[in-house]
């Protein structure tokens, strides 16, 4: 397994729309394993393939306290969402150190495929529901900061670009 490079906002590749997975092979299983290792290392609770510059509909999530309940969602689709909405403070591995409130449906039902190509459905609420919706946004080319006001979004973009410049200077890159 290997740790993959996570794209940082405002990298334009984060806005590419992911294509459905059609081949369920060793490459896909290896990608999911590498994504899980990357997510745990970051550390985070969810990672979409789009965030590691692979534009396929693949998401890994583990919201357990002890990182023991990895879930893989391939070609996920929300088939039901509650009318009740909640605001959760969200963060993102592509926008490190930034957290802000995003309003989303409180509960969702998702249909997806597993690594073998078998269909399953899952009802989720709380953090898992938020995580599923957040990661599925990545597959559609959307980053959570796009739910924020233009002023907040621009401040975050400026901060991320400055951090990238500073990192490049330290590494001796221009």
Phi, psi dihedrals of residue 57, rounded to the nearest 5°: -80, 80
Residue spans of beta strands (DSSP E) within 45-164: 46-48, 58-61, 71-81, 85-92, 95-105, 107-113, 119-125
Question: What is the distance in angstroms between the CA of the first residue and the CA of the last residue of the chain?
Answer: 31
d(CA 174, CA 170): 10
The catalytic position among 56, 90, 107, 135 is 135
DSSP 6: P
To the query of whether residue 135 is one of the catalytic residues in this protein, the response is yes
Residue 37 in 3-state DSSP? helix
d(CA 157, CA 165): 12
The answer to the question of whether 134 is labelled as a binding residue is yes
* Annotated binding-site ranges for Fe cation: 92, 134, 138
Q: Which residues are catalytic?
A: 135
* Annotated binding-site ranges: 92, 134, 138
């Amino acid at each position: 397994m290997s740790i993959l490079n996570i794209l940082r906002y405002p990298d334009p590749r984060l806005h590419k729309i992911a294509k459905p997975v059609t081949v369920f092979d060793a490459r896909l299983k290896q990608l999911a394993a590498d994504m899980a290792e990357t997510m745990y290392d970051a550390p985070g609770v969810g990672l979409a393939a789009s965030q590691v510059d692979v534009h396929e509909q693949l998401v890994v999530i583990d919201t357990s306290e002890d990182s023991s309940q990895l879930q893989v969602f391939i070609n996920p689709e929300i088939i039901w969402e509650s009318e009740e909405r909640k605001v959760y403070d969200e963060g993102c591995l592509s926008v490190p150190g930034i957290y802000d409130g995003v309003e989303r449906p409180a509960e969702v039902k998702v249909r997806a495929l597993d690594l073998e190509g078998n269909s399953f459905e899952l009802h989720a609420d709380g953090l898992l529901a938020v995580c599923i919706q957040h990661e599925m946004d990545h597959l559609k080319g959307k980053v959570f900061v796009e739910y924020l006001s233009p002023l907040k979004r621009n401040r975050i973009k400026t901060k991320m670009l400055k951090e990238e410049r500073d990192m490049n200077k330290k590494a001796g890159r221009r």
